[in-house]
């Protein structure tokens, strides 16, 4: 699609820099813009007076949310230039200076010279925007949980490696976390005794409390010396354990909110009808793709956007073959990958396809990527037609 003017916007926290170019590359506008609706509307209207306009930003979320929203509210087309592409394009321009004005020009010039590097931005629905916000917060909480668990394990390894080894993967179990809140550290556990440890574990781990209590007691008995810092660690461990439990409770509440938004969406039953797609994966698909696939001409374009399409590399006779695509939308790619992995048990057809790829010599991850790519074709048709998943019928003999 051709435009009479393209507006490159190097977004910032309090102000942006806008550069507007006509199809011949002539600068129509080059100035700073305050990060307010009034200032953005004024600049966009001034540039759009030249004709059909396209607004291109280098950041989608956070500081780039308001410019995109204002442009879409004014009926202007919007697009996104990924940061890696922008940096590569900036290297093609003379000079080593890193300024907002130069970056804005690079963004606008990319829309004129290499439009294929841009990603189209459609106006998201309210449900899509809500899911993106909730899932983004859930991702942050998950990262905090992982960091807190790693910190807890690190402290245990430092003061009592045998106890950490005895706990193993159960170190982040709710029963163990509640136990650490009450006992503190290794000394507190010894004072409690095995019987009380077992009693406390039984409250949150009724099936494994006896075995777990025995492992903890055996781990405590494997070390008699006291490592310096143990007393301080006994004060830190309960706080870390409580933090992990609190973060998990927040994730549960976010999960309920996600489920409510998803249940109200017309595509919820369509997406969850596919084997391997649960509530969380369906919510991620809606947040990343939206309620329609009009932005993707074919399923292959959707697969390429997700980073599932292989990249061909050929150079003379020494380099030939296809390699895994390291780019694409990582969140969408992970969702499709997890859907493929989950479907191995739930769907015989998916399992048969996976086994066939493994028999061809592909490794586990490569076979799952092939399965995810195949599911992308089905998913594309399901969203396009708003029809639930229909298992393939075997051909008649």
In a domain, 197, yes or no: yes
Distance CA(325)–CA(113), nearest Å, equals 24
The contacts of residue 306 (CB under 8 Å, 6+ apart) are 328, 329, 332, 333, 336, 376
Q: At 262, is the secondary structure helix, strand, or coil?
A: helix
In a domain, 235, yes or no: yes
Task: List pLDDT tens digits, range 94-153.
Answer: 777 678 888 999 999 998 988 888 887 776 778 888 998 999 999 999 999 999 999 999
Q: 340 and 237 in one domain?
A: no
| Residue carrying the six token digits 């080894």 | 165
| Residue 22: how many other CB atoms lie within 10 Å | 16
In a domain, 394, yes or no: no
Q: 196 and 101 in one domain?
A: no
Q: 98 and 15 in one domain?
A: yes
Could you tell me which residues are beta bridge partners of residue 120? 79
Q: 30 and 103 in one domain?
A: yes
Q: CA-CA distances (angstroms) from residue 19 to 78, 110, 143, 281, 340?
A: 15, 12, 37, 39, 44
List phi, psi (to 5°) of 110.
Answer: -65, -35
Q: Which of 226, 260, 294 is the last residue of a domain?
A: 260
CB 77 within 8 A of CB 57: no
Q: 323 and 375 in one domain?
A: yes
Q: 290 and 176 in one domain?
A: no
Q: CA-CA distances (angstroms) from residue 33 to 36, 71, 136, 270?
A: 8, 14, 28, 43
* Residue 48 domain boundaries: 5-123
Q: 364 and 284 in one domain?
A: yes
Q: 242 and 163 in one domain?
A: yes
Please report, for the domain that includes residue 25, its CATH number: 3.30.420.10
Q: At 19, is the secondary structure helix, strand, or coil?
A: strand
Q: 144 and 64 in one domain?
A: no
Q: Say what the pLDDT of residue 393 is.
A: 58
Q: 240 and 206 in one domain?
A: yes
In a domain, 390, yes or no: no
- State the DSSP code for 173: S
Q: 251 and 136 in one domain?
A: yes
Q: Which of 73, 97, 123 is the last residue of a domain?
A: 123
Q: 150 and 251 in one domain?
A: yes
Q: CA-CA distances (angstroms) from residue 96 to 84, 171, 391?
A: 17, 51, 57
**Domain count along the chain:** 3
Lowest-confidence region among 60-69, 181-190, 312-321, 385-394: 312-321
List phi, psi (to 5°) of 139.
Answer: -60, -40
Task: List pLDDT tens digits, range 330-340.
Answer: 899 999 999 99
Q: Which of 123, 158, 183 is the last residue of a domain?
A: 123
Task: List pLDDT tens digits, range 347-368.
Answer: 999 999 999 999 999 999 999 9
Distance CA(82)–CA(87), nearest Å, equals 9
* Confidence (pTM): 0.79
């Amino acid at each position: 699609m051709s435009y009479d003017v393209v507006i490159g916007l190097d977004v910032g926290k309090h102000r942006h820099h806008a550069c507007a170019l006509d199809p011949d590359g002539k600068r129509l506008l080059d100035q700073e813009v305050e990060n307010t609706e009034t200032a953005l509307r004024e600049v966009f209207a001034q540039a759009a007076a030249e004709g059909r306009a396209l607004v291109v930003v280098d950041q989608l979320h956070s500081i780039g949310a308001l410019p995109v929203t204002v442009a879409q509210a004014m009926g202007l087309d919007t697009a996104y230039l990924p940061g890696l592409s922008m940096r590569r394009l900036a290297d093609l321009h003379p000079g080593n200076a890193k300024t907002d004005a130069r970056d804005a020009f690079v963004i606008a010039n990319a829309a004129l010279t290499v439009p294929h590097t841009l990603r189209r931005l459609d106006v998201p629905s309210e449900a899509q925007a809500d899911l993106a916000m909730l899932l983004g917060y859930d991702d942050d909480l998950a990262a905090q949980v992982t960091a807190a668990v790693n910190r807890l394990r690190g402290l245990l390894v430092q003061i009592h490696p045998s106890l950490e080894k005895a706990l193993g993967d159960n170190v982040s179990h709710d029963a163990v976390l509640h136990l650490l809140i009450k006992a503190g550290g290794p000394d507190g556990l010894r004072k409690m005794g095995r019987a009380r440890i077992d009693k406390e574990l039984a409250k949150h781990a009724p099936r494994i409390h006896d075995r777990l209590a025995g492992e903890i007691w055996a781990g405590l008995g494997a070390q008699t010396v006291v490592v310096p810092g143990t007393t301080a660690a006994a004060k830190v461990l309960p706080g870390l354990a409580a933090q992990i439990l609190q973060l998990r409770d927040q994730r549960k509440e976010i999960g309920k909110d996600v489920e409510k938004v998803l249940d109200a969406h017309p595509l919820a039953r369509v997406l969850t009808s596919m084997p391997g797609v649960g509530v969380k994966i369906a919510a991620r698909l809606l947040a990343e793709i939206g309620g329609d696939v009009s932005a993707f001409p074919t399923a292959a374009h959707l697969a390429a956007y997700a980073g599932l399409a292989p990249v061909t590399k050929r150079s003379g006779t020494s380099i030939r073959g296809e390699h895994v695509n390291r780019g694409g939308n990582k969140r969408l790619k992970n969702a499709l990958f997890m859907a493929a992995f989950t479907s191995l048990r739930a769907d015989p057809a998916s399992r048969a396809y996976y086994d066939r790829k493994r028999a061809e010599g592909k490794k586990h991850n490569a076979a799952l990527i092939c399965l995810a790519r195949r599911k992308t074709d089905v998913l594309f048709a399901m969203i396009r037609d708003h029809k639930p998943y229909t298992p393939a019928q075997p051909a008649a003999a």
